[in-house]
Amino acid sequence: MKFIWLSIKSISMLIISSIVLFNNQSLAQVKLDDFDGDVLSDLTSLPPGASPILISNERGRKIEWREILTSQIQELTFKLPAPPPGEPIDGRIRGGGRRGSSYCPKTETSLTALVPAIRKTIKVGRTKHVENNVWGLTTNERTTFYFYIPFSKSTDNQTSFPTKFFLRDEKTKKIIYQSAVELPSKPGVVAVPLPKTVKPLELEKNYRWYFQIYCKPEIPEQLEGVVRRVKLSQNLIEKINIAKPREKARLYAAEGIWFDSLDMLAQLRQKEPENKQLIKDWKNLVESIGVVDVADKPLVE
């Protein structure tokens, strides 16, 4: 049997009328004289597969909090959405040169964009054609991109390579943002956010991003792909509005909203770098797109 525990803080604020024990198929009901949103943070134990939790006060008011309360035990799983409509979206998420060559120093883990990618080989007669789709979805007007950089800035500038990021309208080819990217103090995952000065991304429109590092002048090693802003359903918006940060990341991942889920987890990990659940969530999310060797790399600035 399992119990639902209430913290000392909640006990000081609330009078508990009854707590009913439950198993995986039964229903638990906690009657409280009064309650508010803080109660959710105090119900910290819930067995997998449990039925919905009902919280009620003496006035008989009942609210189903199942999705909120179970967020602490639900796995974060990314559901890859269908590629945007139109022609296959070519791109690259790994450095190293298209033919296996690179002007950059060899490293154990290559330059990597943390973005979903699908590589498919299509055979037409005797000819094989490779289609690449490198894309990710966001709901934000100005999203944040993440890259693993295996190089760091040096005090003597002997190994500091110029690095750039830019974004353009996929249809008009017009560049809407470009900026130099400072190499981190040590190899790791860096964030490249779009600043507020950038015009908001339009809904249902493709934008192509480029990340370039110049290990040799005028010959960049380049990663590229597409970001597309989408609108959430009203039902999902309502869930996200009442969800806690980790649950928001889980909801975004389940809906295939890559950039929002990744950015939410990155922010949480920066606040709580030793949190084992967040470390596990990050690892699951990054490994889900196939870049397993980057999953345990640190977030750096």
Confidence (pLDDT) at 37: 36
Cα gap 100→282, rounded to integer Å: 29
Last residue of a domain, one of 50, 72, 94: 72
Question: Is 27's pLDDT higher than 80?
Answer: no
Domain that holds residue 139: 75-301
Q: Which two tokens stand for residue 92?
A: 């690259």
Of 255 and 54, which is predicted with more confidence?
255
Query: For 59-94, what is each residue's pLDDT tens digit?
Result: 444 444 444 444 445 889 999 998 887 777 889 999
Q: Which two tokens stand for residue 153?
A: 């800035």
Question: Is 248's pLDDT higher than 70?
Answer: yes
Residues 276 and 169 in one domain: yes
Question: Is 259's pLDDT higher than 90?
Answer: yes
Q: Quote the Cα angle for 115-118-124, to 5°.
A: 155
CB 297 within 8 A of CB 109: yes
Cα gap 226→240, rounded to integer Å: 25
Strands 112-113 and 144-149: antiparallel
Q: By three-state DSSP, how is residue 92 classified?
A: strand
DSSP-derived secondary structure letter, 135: E
Cα gap 3→44, rounded to integer Å: 10
Residues 136 and 29 in one domain: no
Find the CATH number of the domain harbouring 119.
2.60.40.1220
Question: Is 33's pLDDT higher than 70?
Answer: no
Cα gap 227→285, rounded to integer Å: 18
Cα gap 3→22, rounded to integer Å: 8
Residues 30 and 68 in one domain: yes
Of 242 and 13, which is predicted with more confidence?
242
Give the DSSP H or E segment for 267: helix 258-271
Q: Which two tokens stand for residue 189?
A: 């995952």
Residues 56 and 139 in one domain: no
Last residue of a domain, one of 72, 93, 109: 72
**Of 208, 229, 247, whose CA–CA distance to 75 is shortest?**
247
Which of 94-98, 186-190, 235-239 shows the lowest per-residue confidence on average (mean pLDDT)?
94-98
Of the chain, the end-to-end C-alpha distance in Å amounts to: 46
Q: Is residue 203 part of a domain?
A: yes
β-sheet bridge partners, residue 2: 22
- Look over the chain and give the mean of its residue pLDDT values, rounded to a whole number: 78
Question: Is 21's pLDDT higher than 50?
Answer: no
Of 168 and 87, which is predicted with more confidence?
168
Mean pLDDT for 11-16 is: 38
Domains of the chain: total: 2
Query: For 208-229, what is each residue's pLDDT tens digit?
Result: 999 999 998 888 999 999 999 9
Mean pLDDT for 246-272 is: 97
Residue found by looking up tokens 């198993």 in the block: 23
Q: Is residue 284 part of a domain?
A: yes
Residues 65 and 101 in one domain: no
Query: For 86-127, what is each residue's pLDDT tens digit?
Result: 777 889 999 975 444 578 888 999 999 999 998 776 666 676
